[in-house]
Each structure stands twice: as structure tokens, then as C-alpha cells.
Amino acid sequence: MPAKRMTKAQARAYVRGWEAANRRERVALRSATPQENFRQLCALFASADLLDWKQQLAEEDAAGHTVWSRLQKAYLER
């Protein structure tokens, strides 16, 4: 069954909904205490274990380290 096309009014309403959600999230993030932010950060790191992201994160860290090393070497050799 083909998907129905969205009307301009529906598209505008959809965008307004996301804009409102983003505003609410910004307010919530600004009002969070350092303790809440730290707790959320800990939960994010714990989810890396649960979702088996450790290997991917390690590969990204290694790639970042390689780039940083090349930049540092080029800077020091000039």
C-alpha cells in the first residue's frame, strides 16, 4: 500500500511539534543539576556496555588518537 503524501499544513504542524519538543528539552537541560547530568552520563556509559558498543567506541578512540598523533607530529616537525 503506497504511503499517503503529507500536506503542507501537516508538514508545518509536524515541524512545529518538533520545535516545541526541542524547546522543552533545552529548558530541561538548562535546569538540570550537575548531579543529574553526572547520573545521566553514567547511565550513558553503562548503556555502552549493555548495547555492546565498546568495540566501536574503542575503534573510534583509536582513529581519533591516530589523527591527533599525525597532527602533533606535523606541528612538532615544522
39 grid coordinates: 547520573
The larger pLDDT score, comparing residue 57 to residue 42, is at 42
Contact by Cβ (8 Å): 6, 14: yes
- As a whole number of angstroms, the distance between CA 30 and CA 27 comes to 5
Tens of pLDDT, residue by residue over 11-26, are 999 999 999 999 999 9
Biggest alpha carbon–alpha carbon distance for the chain: 63
pTM above threshold 0.75: no
pLDDT for 19 equals: 98
Please, what is the angle between helix 54-76 and helix 34-50, to 10°? 110
Tens of pLDDT, residue by residue over 25-51, are 999 999 999 999 999 999 988 888 788
